[in-house]
Amino acid sequence: MHKWLTVALLAVLGLLQYQLWLGNGGWEDLQLVEERVAVQEAANVPMRERNARLAAEVTDLKTGLDAIEERARSDMGMVRSDEQFFWVPGVAIEAELVGINAGLVTQPNLSSEDTDE
C-alpha cells in the first residue's frame, strides 16, 4: 500500500511538473511572451521619442509664439511686415502661397516726391 501511494504521489508530481514546464501557460509560453514583449518594447522606442517631440511641440505652441511663427513661415509661406519677400524664378511655390504672400508684400516707403509723379 505504501508503495502504491508513493507511486501515485510521484505521478501527480510528474503531472504538475509537466504542466509547469511544457503545459499551457507554462515555462515555454512565458519565454515566448517575454520575447514578444522585448520585440514590442523595441518597436515602441521610436514611438515614445516621437510622442516626446510632439508633446514638446504642443507645450511650445501653448506657451510661446516662436513655434507659431515658425509654422506660419514654413507651412503657409508668411512673412512679417518688416521683411521683404523675394520670389526666385525656378523655385516651385504653390499658387495659393503666392496669392497669400502677394497681399503681405508692400512697396518700400516712397517719399512724397516719388508719389506726385
Q: Taking residues 45-63, what's their average pLDDT?
A: 90
More confident residue, 116 or 49: 49
* Residue 79, number of CB atoms within 10 A of its CB: 15
pLDDT at 100: 56
- Average pLDDT of 55-73? 79
Cell numbers 507554462 correspond to: 26
User: Could you tell me the three cell numbers for 111?
Assistant: 517719399
pLDDT 10s digits, 74-116: 777 777 777 777 777 777 656 555 555 555 545 445 454 554 4
* CB neighbours of residue 91 within 10 Å: 6
Cβ atoms of 90 and 113 closer than 8 Å:
no
How far, in Å, are 9, 13, 45, 49, 75 from residue 59 at the CA level?
A: 65, 59, 21, 15, 19
Look at residue 79 in the predicted model and tell me its pLDDT: 76
Collect contacts of 88-93 with beta carbons under 8 A, ≥24 apart.
none
pTM: 0.40
Helix (H) or strand (E) holding 19: helix 2-21
Give the integer Cα–Cα distance in Å for 110 and 102: 19
Per-residue pLDDT tens digits for 28-48: 888 899 999 999 999 999 999
Report the pLDDT averaged over residues 6-23. 81
Mean pLDDT of the region 3-7: 88
Per-residue pLDDT, 53: 93
Phi then psi for residue 78, to 5 deg, are -80, 150
| Residue 117 pLDDT | 47
